Structure 1
């Protein structure tokens, strides 16, 4: 398979394979490559375009489709996390590996640039979850609570 020839040697393939197998995902070269790139950039969000297999032209619709299917599967199995941000009024999806094991978190995220920070305050998370439950909106144990804000940088740029 062409993607196998262009594999990046950033992580031990056995570790990537173990992570896929632990999530009960069948291992193939493209999945190894995509998850390997995400794992080597743990904590940094990547777009699907940045994860296309090396050596495959962007116009190859089949390759693009396989990347998105792999990302969807990894997200469904909670191996990665998908984040959305607005760029020029359009949603841009990024994918992140490395924070998926946490229970629900409170994440403050800028609507403009997509910058985010996670509040690691257990009491705050419990209070917000309680308020949601009291109002009939319970928070799932693995679901993030997102507080949409405008960061200082974006706020400063819109005041003119």
Structure 2
């Protein structure tokens, strides 16, 4: 099914189209939809699965492939940023629009189940960054600092 029939409204197409053109990316309906969703949720990470075109079944390998190709192109052209986190020992990629100036965060994450929580304490982030820099391991300003833990449920041996 053509993507045009199933596109949902996000930002105005003109705004998204202009951003694609500024990055020298050919405009098509799926790119408009994917970038439009990311721009509508600026600063919030979305997985590729959350960006599948509406009206296309998840099992449609061609649609999934197009989403990943679009995300790769947008990342290559520096329109979006890719973030990686571990969930149950497997990498999960998420994509962010508009978070370029956001500082890194401290994220406590369970090694077993992948549950995580963000520490909003700026002083803690600065202290951890200082310790890393003092030890010759400076913290990149856009990368999350991950503290690996075992959550209460996993440390108690509860099933997932």
SS at match of 2:108: strand
Does residue 11 of structure 2 align to residue 5 of structure 1? no
TM-score, length basis structure 1: 0.70
Structure 2 segments unaligned to the other structure (5+ residues): none
CA contact (8 A) 2:82 2:93 kept: no
Runs of 4+ residues deviating >6 angstroms: none
Structure 1 stretch 37-46 or stretch 9-18: which is displaced more?
A: 37-46
Q: What's the CA shift string for 1:80-111, capped at 9, x where partnerless?
A: 44343424x54444445565541222122233
Shift in alpha-carbon separation, 1:41–1:49, aligned structure 2, 3 A: same
TM-score, length basis structure 2: 0.70
- Cα RMSD of the aligned pairs, angstroms, is 3.4
Shift in alpha-carbon separation, 1:63–1:138, aligned structure 2, 3 A: same
What CA distance in whole angstroms lies between the structure 2 residues aligned with 1:113 and 1:93? 17
Q: Which residue is equivalent to 1:86? A: 87
Structure 1 stretch 28-37 or stretch 69-78: which is displaced more?
A: 69-78
What CA distance in whole angstroms lies between the structure 1 residues aligned with 2:71 and 2:120? 27
Structure 1 segments unaligned to the other structure (5+ residues): none
What CA distance in whole angstroms lies between the structure 2 residues aligned with 1:30 and 1:74? 12
SS at match of 1:102: coil
Q: Which residue is equivalent to 2:143? A: 143
SS at match of 2:10: coil
Please state how far the C-alpha of 1:128 moved relative to its aligned partner. 0.9
Please state how far the C-alpha of 1:46 moved relative to its aligned partner. 4.2
Please state how far the C-alpha of 1:33 moved relative to its aligned partner. 0.9
CA contact (8 A) 1:78 1:100 kept: no
Shift in alpha-carbon separation, 1:92–1:104, aligned structure 2, 3 A: closer
Q: Which residue is equivalent to 1:119? A: 119
Alignment length (residue pairs)? 157
